[in-house]
Structure 1
Amino acid sequence: MFGFGKKKDEKLWIFDADKPTVSKVFANPPADSQFKPELQDVENDEQKEKYEAMLKFLNDTESFPVTEKHDHDMACFKALNEEEKAWLSRQCLLRYLRACDWKLEDAKKRIVNSLAWRREFGVAGGEFNSLTADGVKPENETGKQMIFGYDTESRPCLYLFNGRQNTKTSFRQIQHLIYMLEMAIDYMPRGQDKLCLCVDFKKYPEYCTYESKVPALSVGKQVLGILQYHYPERLGRALFVNIPLIVWTFLKLCWPFVDDFTKQKVKFDEPFKLFIDPSQLPVNYGGDVNLAYDHDVYWDDFVKIADQKRAKMMKNYEKLGGGIGLSEYDLKEGI
C-alpha cells in the first residue's frame, strides 16, 4: 500500500545468520503456552433470551438474500448451505448481538446483511465460494500479508507489510485482505475467536516491487466498514509500527470512522515483542524466529494447513448433527 524511497538493493529485513531459516507457517500456538483461551458466553437471563430469539429467527427463516441489494425479490434468495450453518455458530450469533449492544432487531438485520455480503463476496462456502487461494495468490508474491505465529493470548497474528507492495491498488487487494482474514479465523485454536493484527509500515526494498501511494480515504473507509460490520468482535488486538507522517495523516482521517470497541484494541508504535512471545516472533522485531518469506514454500503449505483445519471442522459439524448454533469449542475439537 505504501512506498517510501529506499534503494531496491538495500536489505532492511533483519536476519540472524546463526539461526535456521523459517519459511513455513506455525499451524498451532506453542504446546507449552500457559494461556488457555475461553469463548465468551451469555452473562444473564436477558442475554440468553435474546440469543434464543436470534437462533429461532435463523432456524425459522427458509431462505436468505444472495446479494446485499435484492429488493426482496425471492429469486435472489436461497436456503443456507451446510458451511453457512456451521458459520452461524453459537459464538457467531453472540458476537453479532454484542456488537449491536444486544438490540435484537439490529443484530438480525446485520447478520442477514452479512450472509448476503459473504455470498456476494465469495466466502460463504458451497456455490458461494468464488474467493480462492489461486485467485489472490499473485497478490502475496512478496509476502506483503502473512499469518505467522500467535500472540501471548493464542491469537493468530496476521501481518500486513505495507512496504512489501507488489501490485497497484485494485479490488483484488481487498479480496486478498478478506481471504487472509478468513484464513486467520481457520488458524484460530480451540477456545479463541479473535486475531492479532500486526501492521508494519516500514519499506523493505528487497521485497517491494511496486511503488504505491497512500490509498484514497474512500478505500480505507470501505475496508474498515467491511471489517467492523461483517467481522464483529474478531479483532483482539491491533499493533501499528513504523508509522510515517503521511500515514499518520491517513490514519487520523480514518479514525473517526472506527468504533469505540475497536479503538480500545489498537496500539501505536509499541514493540510487537510486548505482545508476542519470542518463540513466535520474527528476529526482525526482536524475536527468535529467523523468518524469511519464500512464496513457493510458504503459500501452498499455508493453504494446505488451513484446508485441513476447515475440513476437520466440517467433519466435527457433521458428527455433532449439523445445524445452526453449534459451539465453536466443539467445532474446533482436534484442530
Structure 2
Amino acid sequence: MRMDRSSSADVSSELLSKASAYTFDTASALGSGSSATHTRTVETTTNYNNDPKLETLVTPINASSATAYSPQQSLLMSKSVEQPSLAKVLSMEAACAILSAGLVAPLISIVDKSIFANASGAQPLAQGIAAGLTSLVRSPLHFLRQPSFLLIWGVYSGTYIAANSIQAICDRLFVPWQIPKFIGSSVANVGLSVLKDLYFTRAFGTGPARPVPMGSYSLYTLRDTMTIFASFNLPSIMSTKLKQHTKLSNGTADTISQLVTPCAIQIASTPLHLYGMDLYNRPQATAVERRVFIRKEYVITTAARMARIFPAFGIGGVANKYLRSKGKTWLEAGQGH
C-alpha cells in the first residue's frame, strides 16, 4: 500500500519529534559515570511506546559493547584536551631538571669537595667549606669553570632528567611511575655519581693516583641507591601518612616530606660513604682501624652530607616540582605549540 506525500511527511515529523525526546547520557561513556563498570547507558525522557518506526532510528547501547576508560583517560576525553607532543613535554622536563640542578650545584660541589679532602686528611672540613664559599663569591666565573662544579651539575641534571622524563612518559601512558622512576633515576644517579666520585677521590685524596677498589664502587652504589629512594619515592609515602594523621595541606605535607627524607637517610648511608673513601685512602687498614675512623668522622660527615643533600634533593626537589608544574601549565595553555 502506497503512502502519499503528506502522510509520509507526517510520519517523518512524528518520528523526529519522538526522537528528539530521547536524551543520551554519554557522560558514563567517558568514564564519569560508574567508575567501577565504565558502561555506557541511554536515558530517555519518554518511553518507546512500542513504536517500531522509532525503534529503527534509536538503538540502545549495550553494556557489553561499552569501552572502559580510566579516570585519567575520561578526564582528557571529557575536556577534549589536545596534549602537547611528547618531544615538547620531554624538552620542558629536561629544562626544568637542568635549571633545578644548576640552582643547587654550587653548594653541593663545595661540600662534596670538602668532605673528600677532610676524609683524606688534606684539609679540615670547615676550612674547605669556607675556602669554597670564598671562591664562589670572589671569583664566580672561575668557580663555575672548575671540574668539581661541572661534574656535580652534570650528575644532578642527569638524575633529574631521568626522573622527570620517566614520570612524564608513565603519566602519558597512564601507568604507575614509582618503580620505573626509582630504577631509572637510580641507574642515572649511581652511574654519574660513581664517575664523579672517582674524580673526587683521586683529586682530593692522599698519595699518588691509583685505581679505586671495587669495594668503594659497591659502597658508593648502595649509598646512592638509598639516597635516590629517599629523594624520589619516599617523599610521596611520607606525605600521604602526614595528610592522613595531621591537618597539613597537600602542599605543606609534600614540601616537608621532600625536605626531610633525603636528609634523614644520610644517618644510615654515611658509614657506607666513609668506608668507601677509607678503602681508597688506607688500603692496608684493618677492620678495627676502619671502625675507629668511621666513629670519629661519623657525626661531622653526616651533618655535612645532610647539608649537601638538603639542597640537592630537598631544595632542588621542591624547585624541580615547582618548575614542572609551571611548565605543564605553559604547555597546556598552548604556549609550547
TM-score band by shorter chain is under 0.3
Q: Choose between structure 1 and 2 for higher RCO, CA contacts under 8 A separated by at least 6 residues.
A: 1
The structure with the largest alpha-carbon Rg is 2
